[in-house]
Structure 1
């Protein structure tokens, strides 16, 4: 039995204090709301030096990274203005690379993704970072499938978040994975936060998009779909997760999203695949696997149905294509 979930947050000079405060505060509140086992939160730096945040506040580290021994539940690297120096620091990168195999999961916030990438932990994985830094990350690490569309991304046991307040969305998702939705909702209420923005919500112009569905069950399922594109997302699987019948699930999606569960899943997978095609050099087959399609041909057909263009055309477009606004018969979930 676990006595505590040990979470090590890694900081460095010119770090973004919110990238540390959002996860640590949410986990602390989770403990006060009854997390069992509780989280044990630690802050680590190279040689246990104080980390001077870009806001001018110095953070005292409790751990020297060189002396930390596993196992760890979560290893999380913060972002911040000092990310270039951090990613180029062999002492820091060596310790991240050493600790990662001893961690149940590894995460980054914002430009902390640069440190994970420098340690080789994002190779051949889908990852996100702040929208303003994605192109540079992709150019520097061509084996990383950078997607700056979502708020956070999970690829295996590696999690990356877009930046700043998306750290809270990611942490609420981790709490829900660890302890269930009831505790995550309790933490969000204490934080006076919306629970929680779905992973696939766009980083840019999110307030200009259609309002989130009013039904909490639909809202939570939409977030689950965006964060688990490669999983079984059939109507039956979604209904089982929500604890409702497939018929009731279809009624809820039709009422609150104007579409069926199958079409919603296919649209989420297709749009995520389009962003991945445009932001990486991955083959259509590799993109398809990451986004839940059985084959490259199935993905090509989804692109044609959704955008009226094939994958190669989408890759060459200067901007993201717009979905075709036309009714059609439901296409089975791939």
Structure 2
């Protein structure tokens, strides 16, 4: 459902809160929509609860809401955030009833993090592809075998149902919704205002390069990894890294292979490639990404991309030049 402001449609974005709700799960997306209003008169954010009473968030803050879910009217989009509490505690019959009511009074239905469990228990995700925070994915798969859980995606769209991995990924999904509503330029401007990446596409992994693969087990390897990640463009060599760690090249190489399954040189290349890829996602040019990540030239980065992915960085960037949710001319009216 939409109202108008100076003749411009305003989309009502309902966010269903409850005691123990993860604060960033709802604050992040809400700020995206509020920030978007600096560029377009696009959104009215409406905080809801089961009974219209204030809720206490994960950080202990008391949050006032605008209305009870059953009395709030119709929405363009409804968002159900998650919680760090186990679903058995926060997914109450009252919350399920409120979410069910809202699902009949919105055009788009969205879950953040373990909010997917609420929609799953209502049967709304059966046969659908969804995602959630990686630590909840296995349990969601086990409990609801009719759901196609993508445990690695940042966010997923399946028809009018949207889901995200939660926490910061909720911001990525909100930016995707803004792009769907108002185009990539507006979404990019909002991302710039919030000083966040614009182009973490939905299919991008939940794990950054430095988090992928085995984690360092020893303080010495962690120390060297931190040096690499802090300045990937520095001309790191196994000699400089061993000198920093005050160990022999042979010893450092042995530790890296044992803990990270890569040599020091391979790990530097791995991190540099991840940084370059993320910069391309964020909209930087190929040359900028090459210099900042340590490749030095666009040709060196091009060779690395072709070797790893079989395509050039420019073609790769073209595939991910938006948030990954296609713009579709859907009507503003809510559907029942």
Match of 2:40 among 35, 39, 45: 35
CA distance in 1, matches of 2:152, 2:114: 15
- The residue aligned with 1:23 is 29
Residue aligned with 1:41, SS: strand
CA distance in 1, matches of 2:32, 2:91: 30
Contact 2:52 2:69 in 1 (8 A): yes
- The residue aligned with 2:177 is 174
1:136/1:256 CA distance change after superposition, 3 Å: same
CA distance in 1, matches of 2:304, 2:202: 19
Structure of higher RCO (CA pairs closer than 8 Å, 6+ residues apart): 2
Give 5+ residue unaligned stretches, structure 2.
5-9, 213-269, 286-298, 320-336
Give 5+ residue unaligned stretches, structure 1.
221-250, 269-334
1:137/1:219 CA distance change after superposition, 3 Å: farther
Contact 2:78 2:106 in 1 (8 A): yes
1:80/1:184 CA distance change after superposition, 3 Å: same
- The residue aligned with 2:134 is 131
1:48/1:181 CA distance change after superposition, 3 Å: same
CA distance in 2, matches of 1:100, 1:106: 7
Deviation string, structure 1 residues 202-226 (Cα, Å, up to 9, x no partner): 1134445623165569889xxxxxx
1:88 offset after TM fit, Å?
Answer: 3.7
Contact 2:17 2:47 in 1 (8 A): yes
Q: Are positions 1:89 and 2:92 aligned together?
A: yes
CA distance in 1, matches of 2:278, 2:93: 46
Contact 1:24 1:41 in 2 (8 A): yes
Task: Return 86-95 or 162-171, whichever deviates more.
Answer: 86-95
CA distance in 1, matches of 2:280, 2:88: 45
CA distance in 1, matches of 2:64, 2:53: 7
CA distance in 2, matches of 1:86, 1:62: 24
Q: Are positions 1:99 and 2:102 aligned together?
A: yes
Q: What pairs with 1:223-262 in structure 2 (closer than 5 Å)?
A: 257-258=305-306, 259-260=310-311
- The residue aligned with 2:113 is 110
- The residue aligned with 1:121 is 124
Deviation string, structure 1 residues 120-159 (Cα, Å, up to 9, x no partner): 1111101111101111111111111111111111111111
Root-mean-square deviation (CA, aligned residues, Å) is 2.8
Q: How many residues align?
A: 230
Residue aligned with 2:104, SS: helix
Deviation string, structure 1 residues 270-312 (Cα, Å, up to 9, x no partner): xxxxxxxxxxxxxxxxxxxxxxxxxxxxxxxxxxxxxxxxxxx
Contact 1:83 1:115 in 2 (8 A): no
CA distance in 1, matches of 2:26, 2:32: 10
Residue aligned with 1:197, SS: coil
CA distance in 1, matches of 2:282, 2:34: 26
Match of 1:62 among 66, 87, 98: 66
- The residue aligned with 2:12 is 6
Deviation string, structure 1 residues 296-330 (Cα, Å, up to 9, x no partner): xxxxxxxxxxxxxxxxxxxxxxxxxxxxxxxxxxx
Give the TM-score taking structure 1 as reference length: 0.63
* Rg (Cα) greater in structure: 2
Q: Are positions 1:158 and 2:161 aligned together?
A: yes
CA distance in 1, matches of 2:55, 2:71: 17
CA distance in 1, matches of 2:93, 2:199: 36
CA distance in 2, matches of 1:257, 1:168: 28
Contact 1:213 1:256 in 2 (8 A): no
Give the TM-score taking structure 2 as reference length: 0.62
1:94/1:75 CA distance change after superposition, 3 Å: same
